Amino acid sequence: MHQHLKGKAMSGETDLIKLYSGRILALAADIPHLDRLDDPQATVKRRSPLCGSTVTVDLSVRDGRVSAFGQDVKACALGQAAASVVGSAIIGCTRAQIETARDQLKAMLKSDAPAPDAPFGGLEVLIPARDYKNRHASIMLALEASAEAIAQAAQADCA
């Protein structure tokens, strides 16, 4: 029986190693817009209490679209990969696109829904993380912070 348990643990570790695919690690190593903005319309910091990952987003809006974006990412490779995709896609996006992507990413992780629509389709690389519920909060940080920031910036833009 002990041998059986050991094999099961090893299998779990192998699955976790597979989760950190080359594509995820490449995204995590090349996160765009890591410079914070000097004068953003909104700044939002989100933290995952489970793992301590944090993402801070600076954002400005012009004509209802993201015109400038910066982020500070202190997260696991999965959270970093999500932030990388978000950073690559977010300039020019509307509040509705960001909120839809956030909701679609949550559904992809929790309900086996498809990956978010373009321009956030690159988040499909994180589909294997569905089975690792303790990583979901970290994966969601960049889009949650961005959605909150664009809502604040849109209010500032209208004021």
Q: pLDDT, tens digit, for every residue of 118-132? A: 999 999 999 999 988
Counting the structural domains of the chain, the total is 1
Report whether 64 contacts 95 (CB < 8 A). Answer: yes
Average pLDDT, the chain: 89
Q: In the numeric block, which tokens belong to residue 91?
A: 């300039």
Question: Residue 110 sits in which domain range?
Answer: 2-158
Report whether 80 contacts 139 (CB < 8 A). Answer: no
- DSSP, collapsed to helix, strand or coil, labels residue 63 as coil
Give the CATH number, domain containing residue 52.
3.90.1010.10
Q: In the numeric block, which tokens belong to residue 111?
A: 């309900």
> pTM for this one?
0.87
Dist. CA 70–CA 79, nearest whole Å: 16
Q: How confident is the model at residue 21 (pLDDT cuts 50, 70, 90)?
A: confident
Name every residue whose Cβ is closer than 8 Å to that of residue 96 and which is 6 or more positions away in sequence: none
